[in-house]
Amino acid sequence: MTATTHFLVSKKDLHKTEFTKEETPALEDGEVLLRVDRFAFTANNVTYAAFGDAMKYWQFFPAPEGFGRIPVWGFADVAESRHPGVTEGERFYGYYPMSTHLIVSPDKVTPAGFSDSAAHRAELAVVYNYYNNTKGDPAYTPDMEDLQMIFRPLFMTSFLIDDFLADNDFFGATQVVLSSASSKTAFGAAFQLAKRNGIKVVGLTSKGNMDFVKSLGCYDEVIAYDDIQSLNAETKTAYVDMAGSGKVRHDIHTHFADRLVYSCAVGASHWDEMGSNEDLPGAKPTLFFAPAQGQKRVQEWGAQGFQAKTAEAWMDFIKPAASWIDVKRHSGQESMLEIYCNMVDGRAHPRDGHILSF
């Protein structure tokens, strides 16, 4: 029997983790066993854990009571198949747990990939259930796997943030402020927003990351969290909260007050400082759920139109972005735990792109 190793995280305390091992169940007809090769781990994955219940991220990969398996983006190979449309040895990019193996039930299989029709995923966001076959992905090249794992899922969110704001005429704002400006999702969004006429893009970051964020060239202005008061409070502003810090959110809302025309939470790099949204002046904070905007655009543009637009934007972005990070590969449980802890505690350097494997 094949054994599967899992990295589990307590839903109530992200610092509480454990590795477990169990026998992999025998496949039923129509099922496929994927062996997870490697995956990226970024601040975005900490967001998946922090919003695990609110956004149903924990539901994708069930775990023992009280624990969760954090979703990650990576590549896996077919170790065993009992589905006629999926062949052993094929390689798929997609949404995986931090585990060595995953059993899926492929549906709507084409040369491009398949959707997992497992019963527990039926009511979850469709975009996370699709697995791309590398043989049928025109944008895939083996030498770009690391960059794809690190950036592609984040950039899709970045693309949709920019698209959503533009789709709503920026709610009347002429300025977009992004917290955690050193995060990959934030500077991907800033890269897209910088193409918009009449929109000033401001990045908020820690003093230690100022030089890195400025070097990206995506932001019109970069300021430290302590200097929010230096921004013109009369400017109609949209706030995109990548940090999840209650203090920063409070400072932004208090500073701009009724000039803050839109406020959304996308990430939670400061997951332990979320705070309350009660009694904040300005626009009421909301959660931005990228798949909702994605599904809207698929309906409006068609699946092919959506893929064409996002692929064009992706290729435009990844050319400069490839030089903005240093890819670092790690293998083994000890390294995995170290990277995880550094990311949860905010000790990871924004220039590092981490690729993990068991």
How many structural domains are present in the chain?
2
Q: Are residues 122 and 164 in the same domain?
A: no
| 308 within a domain of the structure (yes/no) | no
Residue 179: is its pLDDT beyond 80?
yes
- In this prediction, residue 212 carries a pLDDT of 93
* 8 Å CB contact between 93 and 116: no
Q: Are residues 160 and 40 in the same domain?
A: no
- In this prediction, residue 1 carries a pLDDT of 67
Instruction: Report residue 6 CA to chain centroid gap.
Output: 21
Q: Are residues 130 and 205 in the same domain?
A: no
CATH number at residue 203: 3.40.50.720
Q: Are residues 271 and 346 in the same domain?
A: no
Task: Out of 266, 291, 316, pick the residue that ends a domain.
Answer: 291
Q: Are residues 240 and 122 in the same domain?
A: no
Tell me the whole-structure pTM to 2 decimals: 0.81
| 335 within a domain of the structure (yes/no) | yes
**Residue 320, Cβ neighbours under 10 Å: how many?**
12
Query: Does residue 278 or residue 130 have the better pLDDT?
Result: 130
Radius of gyration over alpha carbons of the chain, in Å?
A: 20
Q: Taken in order 306, 311, 313, 317, is the CA torsion positive or negative? A: positive
Q: Are residues 202 and 260 in the same domain?
A: yes
Residue 147: is its pLDDT beyond 70?
yes
Give the span between the Cα atoms of 237 and 145, in whole angstroms. 37
Mean pLDDT over residues 20-41, rounded? 97
Q: Are residues 164 and 128 in the same domain?
A: no
Q: Whats the size of the chain, residue-wise?
A: 358
Q: Are residues 128 and 166 in the same domain?
A: no
Mean pLDDT over residues 161-181, rounded? 96
Where residue 353 falls among pLDDT bands split at 50, 70, 90?
Answer: very high
Task: Out of 263, 291, 319, pick the residue that ends a domain.
Answer: 291
Q: Are residues 286 and 198 in the same domain?
A: yes
Q: Are residues 72 and 184 in the same domain?
A: no
3-state secondary structure the chain: CCEEEEEEEECCCCCCEEEEEEECCCCCCCCEEEEEEEEEECHHHHHHHHCCCCCCHHHHCCCCCCEECCEEEEEEEEEEECCCCCCCCCEEEEEEECECEEEECEEEEECCEEEECCHHHCCCCHHHHEEEEHHHCCCCCHHHHHHHHHHHHHHHHHHHHHHHHHHCHHHHCCEEEECCCCCHHHHHHHHHHCCCCCCEEEEEECHHHHHHHHHHCCCCEEEEHHHHHHCCCCCCEEEEECCCCHHHHHHHHHHHHHHEEEEEECCCCCHHHCCCCCCCCCCCCEECCHHHHHHHHHHHHCHHHHHHHHHHHHHHHHHHHCCCCEEEEEECHHHHHHHHHHHHCCCCCCCEEEEEEC
* Interval 239-283: pLDDT, tens: 999 877 889 999 999 999 999 999 998 865 544 455 566 779 999
Task: Out of 291, 306, 341, pick the residue that ends a domain.
Answer: 291
| 265 within a domain of the structure (yes/no) | yes
Classify the phi-psi angles of 122: left when phi > 0, otherwise alpha if psi is within -120 to 50, otherwise beta. alpha
| 167 within a domain of the structure (yes/no) | yes
* Interval 39-55: pLDDT, tens: 999 988 998 998 888 88
Q: Are residues 120 and 173 in the same domain?
A: no
| 45 within a domain of the structure (yes/no) | yes
- In this prediction, residue 50 carries a pLDDT of 87
CATH number at residue 86: 3.90.180.10
| 113 within a domain of the structure (yes/no) | yes
- In this prediction, residue 273 carries a pLDDT of 55
Residue 192: is its pLDDT beyond 80?
yes
What percent of the chain is predicted at pLDDT more than 90? 71
Where residue 210 falls among pLDDT bands split at 50, 70, 90?
Answer: very high
What is the residue range of 76's domain? 3-137+327-357
| 9 within a domain of the structure (yes/no) | yes
| 305 within a domain of the structure (yes/no) | no
* Interval 273-331: pLDDT, tens: 555 667 799 999 998 888 889 889 988 998 778 878 888 898 899 889 889 989 999 99
Tokens 């398949």 found at: 114
Q: Are residues 190 and 81 in the same domain?
A: no
